Amino acid sequence: MATPTKAATAQTNGRTGTKKNSGNTTGKIEPGEFHEFFIDELKDIYWAEKHLVKALPKMKKAATSPELATAFEKHTQETQTHIDTLEQVFQLLDEKPAAKKCDAMAGLLEEANGIIEDTDAGTMIRDAGLILAAQKVEHYEIATYGTLKVFAENMDRSDVADLLGQTLENEKATDVALTEIAVSAVNAEAAAE
Ligand code: FE
Ligand code: FE
């Protein structure tokens, strides 16, 4: 995340309304301050999705098994939907969609590239590595959308929370689908190579 802050920690215990070390006497996050933080994090995941949608076709091309290639193709389309959904969220919040570099996604995609470079085309070891890289991405997205959904609920924006929840469920389903491909088609063959 571009700006890890205390608010992210507060989310883990289900509260976002307080900030221990804030300078103000009430110990509360100012409404504007939290809104700004939320928008910043939306810009971060917007950048992440926009870069992922370009990386997934490369991962599809690199995949050995048709099952994995199909999964990457499907998730490319779904990722485009995630981008559209975030644009809807920005609109609901009267904000212009803007992307802010997400260092975490940049690193995860660099790692995926490294796996492609370090493995031979046409091997199941390549696929096992691609699934590992893709699942790291999905888990990052699950963590992000899970947190942002709770933030939206805390801000009494159920409209925004619902949209973020839809993407969250799709990321979870993608993670499960990748596990199924690994278990049913890839891992045993990779181990035998
Ligand atoms: Fe996504
Ligand atoms: Fe995803």
What is the per-residue pLDDT for 188?
A: 82
φ/ψ of 76, rounded to 5, equals -65, -45
In a domain, 8, yes or no: no
Tell me how far the alpha carbon of residue 49 lies from the centroid of ligand 1, in angstroms. 6
What is the residue type of 48?
Answer: A
Q: How many CB atoms lie within 10 A of CB 111?
A: 14
Range of the domain at 51: 31-192
Asked whether the predicted pLDDT for residue 90 surpasses 80, the reply is yes
Asked whether the predicted pLDDT for residue 153 surpasses 70, the reply is yes
Q: Output the domain CATH number for residue 164.
A: 1.20.1260.10
What is the per-residue pLDDT for 28?
A: 55
What is the per-residue pLDDT for 191?
A: 86
As a whole-number percent, the residues of the chain with pLDDT over 90 amount to 78
CA distance 36 to 42: 10
Count: domains in the chain: 1
In a domain, 3, yes or no: no
Tell me how far the alpha carbon of residue 37 lies from the centroid of ligand 1, in angstroms. 20
- Mean local confidence (pLDDT), 90-115: 98
What is the residue type of 82?
Answer: H
Give the closest ligand to the alpha carbon of residue 177: 2
What is the per-residue pLDDT for 14?
A: 41
Intra-chain end-to-end CA distance of the chain, in Å: 37
Q: Find out whether 17 and 7 touch, Cβ atoms under 8 Å.
A: no
- Mean local confidence (pLDDT), 19-33: 55
- Mean local confidence (pLDDT), 18-47: 74
φ/ψ of 146, rounded to 5, equals -60, -45
In a domain, 6, yes or no: no
Tell me how far the alpha carbon of residue 136 lies from the centroid of ligand 2, in angstroms. 10
CA distance 181 to 50: 25
In a domain, 108, yes or no: yes
In a domain, 4, yes or no: no
Tell me how far the alpha carbon of residue 12 lies from the centroid of ligand 2, in angstroms. 22
In a domain, 127, yes or no: yes
Q: How confident is the model at residue 102 (pLDDT cuts 50, 70, 90)?
A: very high
In a domain, 87, yes or no: yes
What is the residue type of 24?
Answer: N
Whole-number mean pLDDT of the chain? 88
In a domain, 93, yes or no: yes
What is the per-residue pLDDT for 31?
A: 64
